[in-house]
Structure 1
Amino acid sequence: MGFCPCFGFSKSKKVKSDHIKKQPSYEQRLGTVSKKSVDSRFKSAVVKDGPSAHFSATFTYEELSFATNNFRAESLIGRGGFGAVFKGKLESTGQQVVAVKQLDPSGIQGDKEFLVEVLMLSLLHHPNLVNLIGFCAEGDHRLLVYEYMPLGSLEDHLFDVTPHMEPLDWNTRMKIAAGAARGLDSLHSANPPVIYRDLKASNILLEDGFNPKLSDFGLAKFGPVGDKSYVSTRVMGTYGYCAPEYASSGRLTIKTDIYSYGIVLLELITGHRALDEVNGHQEYLVNWALPLMKDHNFSRLADPMLEGKYSMSVLKKVLEVASMCLGENANSRPSSSELAQAMDYLFSRKNESKKVKNDCAKWPEIDFSPSDTKMILDKDLDRDRAVAEAKVWGVKWRERREQIQRSISDEDKR
């Protein structure tokens, strides 16, 4: 996993052999991590509209070794931020197919990530969050057992498209974007809120039907509570997805995740990576896309793989959402709740996805709707009322934007 470009890696210092201390056991290190890194608020944390706790199963190393055919190369299905992931079958649960992540035993940092992920996924449950089945903490072995996601990651289908693969169409991309927004909102709606800190294409896994689930919560942290507006922490993340204010100051807020979501949204629209190699040098997607968005060069932003099969009006609206997520002023970015509502509405307009001409670019009257997606999709819903609701919320959305822009302008004048 790559990390944010704005912070460097310190060179490891050589230590004389006679000063090397014997490493503590895994249980000792886990105990240390528990005391130092686990927020006491976790014990009373509650997730909105979901169970407050879930007890994951424990497995022996022998069980998981047998399930993955001794972690052989043919069982390897990918590599996460902190270790390799293997496909396996659990004998104890009737040959259930699972994904087993074997963490790299690199020391205390790995212990912390392991503990955080077990605790977070034991607490947080949502249809758009990957389900933790169990774990293994035997000796120095640290393994996590998840539900198996048969379609792999968004990265696999968006960037690593092979000749025998069908490129993602517009409706599927919007389905993934809407589901990822709902998953993010479930984290931010927790009490205390959870900051994901590693939202990216490779961490959005896909089950049958291209239903997305967020995964890899080793970097997640509890957000600020009370009168605190941010959490101070070591800057961690992935190249191209890291919010600029977090990368420069280490001040972490839930709006840090919103910026990352904006990058993922741009990836879904353009088919370009957050950080890609162009003409022999690396280029950030946001630096390429924002000037085109300001010039209203929308058709150039659309992935050629879409072959023009999308609604220009919906494309513009999705780009507007992405633009707001990427605002330099973190406070001006929408909340995860607003994102989930907006993306659900835009996905509901999937029937508008059709081949378009580059010149059919009139901005539509209807803006994002706050209505429940089920209501929007209900065939019996009065169409005039739905349009009226959409227009009302569109006005509120624009007023909110203008208010934020005025406040930013006033701050600049001071």
Structure 2
Amino acid sequence: MTLPGQDPAPNKAGARRVTALVFAAQGTAVAAVSTTIPAVEERFGLPALATTAILLAVALAAGAGSLLGMAAVRRLGPVAAMRSCVLAVAAALLGIAWAPDTTVLVAAYVLFGLSVGGIDVSANTRAAAVERHYGHSIFASFYAVWSCAGVAAALLTAGTSRLNWPVADTLVIQAAVVVVLALGIRSHRLPGTTPGRASAAVGTRIWVRLVPFGIVLLVAYVIDSSVSTWSAAYLHETLAASLAAAPLAYAAYQAGTVLGRAGADRLVRRIGPVAVVCWATVLTAAAAAGLAFAPTWPIAAAAAGLTGLGVSAFAPLCLASAGRLQPDAAEAILARLNLFNYFGVIAGGAVSGVLGSAGQFRLAYAAPALLVLLLMATARSFTPVRTESGADERSNPMYWAGTT
């Protein structure tokens, strides 16, 4: 037990569990917001363009939150930063649920964006450090937890909608789940780390080497934002799905990412990150095209699941490789890399929203199907995990045993 004012004992396994809890909390919150968009629109009588503007504000706030998260990690440490951001996300969900008017609603969405941005930096920085101490690829496992939580939250939204519960009740339940997860975020320290370590300066060459990863994140999140944010509206408005059925595309998408991320670490160890990125690119392009031209909502939901399977490896592989460029300044590197993430969210969410409001949701999914093929050119930038001693993960006996 750690006494007040006492540094926690090194605990690699505990660090992994706590980081996974934070990813679960974020996945729950993001799914709660994404799958309740049609219901919130109906409750407040928002036109599609107003919703697009709100989601744009969320993405911009997340970019600012990413930089604030970097400062919080440096000042408070990763565990305290993660815990604070998760609690702020829960507060944002309650704000959306109980908003008496659109002004408070927008403020709650902005708080949500700031908090999610802070989680991105603090959780990904911690995940990169944990992976480095394990000495083999485990980064995708954190995103698998994120996706599992997203599936559960999406199914919860679908279930409460089928029972005709008010959207406010749904969001309150989701916020309660996030708070419960936050209670499990305990202090821990990785072996060989010193609390309060100052971040090192980042050289110009590192920023140049981030560009390929930034391109991958940008394209991946254009697709992710288009599917996550607007798939429920696409099914409801274009393919005549009910409000209870509309969230199932999001659930299928997240289920696809669960399957992809559950096997991504093992696949990376078997065939390497370059081959994984290439195969994922082909699958994502084909699945996004299927989503664009689906004749019925069940087929669209299945295509969304395959899209999730293909796109699932991009973010964890990008962030893991970027975090290895300069481990002693990972929070600064990941904070800036996350800006590409939010540009992708803005582009995907805004363009899809504008096209959707014009009745052209299909075009919003057809265009990214072509865009994703650009990622083939970036594949060689991805690198295998190196241990704390600097050895390639393939020299680690766990690599060959396939242990996670």
Structure (1/2) with the larger helix percentage: 2
- Please give the TM-score of this superposition, normalised by the length of structure 2: 0.32
- Please give the TM-score of this superposition, normalised by the length of structure 1: 0.31
Which structure has more relative contact order (CA 8 Å, sep 6+)? It is 2
Structure (1/2) with the larger strand percentage: 1
